[in-house]
Amino acid sequence: MNREYDTVSLDDERGVLVAIDQTKLPNALEFLALSTPPDIRDAIRSLQIRGAPAIGVAAAFGYYLAARNAAVSGDALWEALREAKQTLASSRPTAVNLFWALERMERSAFSCPDRQNLIQRLKAEAVSIRDEDVASCRAIGGYGLTLLKDGDGILTHCNAGRLAAVRYGTALAPVYVGAERGARFKVYATETRPLMQGARLTAYELSAAGIDVTLICDNMASRVMRNGWVRAVITGCDRVAANGDVCNKIGTSALAVLAAHYSIPFYVCAPLSTVDLRTASGDEIPIEERDGGEVSEMWFQKPSAPAGVKIYNPSFDVTPHSLVSAIVTERGVLRAPYAESLRGAKHS
């Protein structure tokens, strides 16, 4: 993957959000050019744009573009911005970065009464959200490195690398920052059924970056751990509850249980924008359920299941805080009791 490309970026001259179309990977590197909130919403829903940090940045740029490209003024403009926020917020229910970014953009908008200054202010705010994402992911990489040793085997799930953020990513940030500093890790990427983000995206971006990566089926994780090849499990997440419960791609909680059985540390990398202190525990996090065709048909020339069979397809699961060894943020490595460490980090 060419490091010159950001996963999501703003082309202000054309008035569009530019994003890598992740549904085309690994077979083709193609870019989307999106100008309206409905187009950006649909791209997020269809997983053309995915990953909690990248979704937040895309939503911020989308909100700015709604103001920039609006052909109305006065009360009609404010109504257009409210509609833009509602449209973008409806794209996916689980990743808290989406709502965090939109609320931040809305606060910036409604504190600025002048339309021309409003547009410039919203652009500056969206660019700040983008820049902060890059900086926080790199900081996460540095703090995550303190938990690892050169040559360690690392198991990761889904895709929490560059493609899930603007650059660096979260769970893979220690790998990338480590590579910059001369460290070398052996990464085991689960394929991550049913949408195959590990196979299509993590394996793609790591191999393109020259990182030692081995793809395994999801049900091979226990064998790899038993072989002694894994020194740490590192994942990203879409939402961290106030008590430290973490919500991530379906299958994450099973890896946490396996890691505990084999006495392997289970680390979660997340920017503080992913921490939701208003959600007391993982029980309160809405879990998105997607179309069953993703399980039975999407990656097969012919259906892999009998027609009409019932399919349960949740996108996420919740790992209880008791199984989380540490949460790595841009402000340091947080440990239990998470109710205290998360609140302290958010308010520092």
Q: What is the CATH number of the domain that holds 70?
A: 1.20.120.420
Q: Is residue 143 part of a domain?
A: no
Q: Which tokens belong to 297?
A: 């048909």
pLDDT band at 77 (very low <50, low <70, confident <90, very high): confident
Digit-coded pLDDT (tens) for 253-299: 999 999 999 999 999 999 999 999 999 999 999 999 999 999 999 88
CB 267 within 8 A of CB 234: yes
Q: 131 and 225: one domain? A: no
CB 199 within 8 A of CB 214: no
Digit-coded pLDDT (tens) for 164-214: 999 999 999 999 999 999 999 999 999 999 999 999 999 999 999 999 999
Q: 117 and 181: one domain? A: no
Give the contacts of 254 (CB within 8 A, at least 6 positions apart). Answer: 221, 317
Q: 208 and 334: one domain? A: yes
Active site residues: 238
Neighbours of 162 (CB within 10 A): 28
Q: Is residue 3 part of a domain?
A: no
Instruction: Provide, rounded to the nearest whole percent, the portion of the chain with pLDDT above 70.
Output: 97
**Total of domains in the chain:** 2
Q: 177 and 275: one domain? A: yes
pTM of the shown model: 0.92
Digit-coded pLDDT (tens) for 127-176: 999 999 999 999 999 999 999 999 999 999 999 999 999 999 999 999 99
Q: 54 and 168: one domain? A: no
**CA–CA separation, 30 vs 260, rounded Å?**
40
Q: Which domain holds residue 252?
A: 148-347
**CA–CA separation, 154 vs 132, rounded Å?**
26
Give the contacts of 241 (CB within 8 A, at least 6 positions apart). Answer: 247, 276, 279, 280, 281, 282, 284, 285, 321
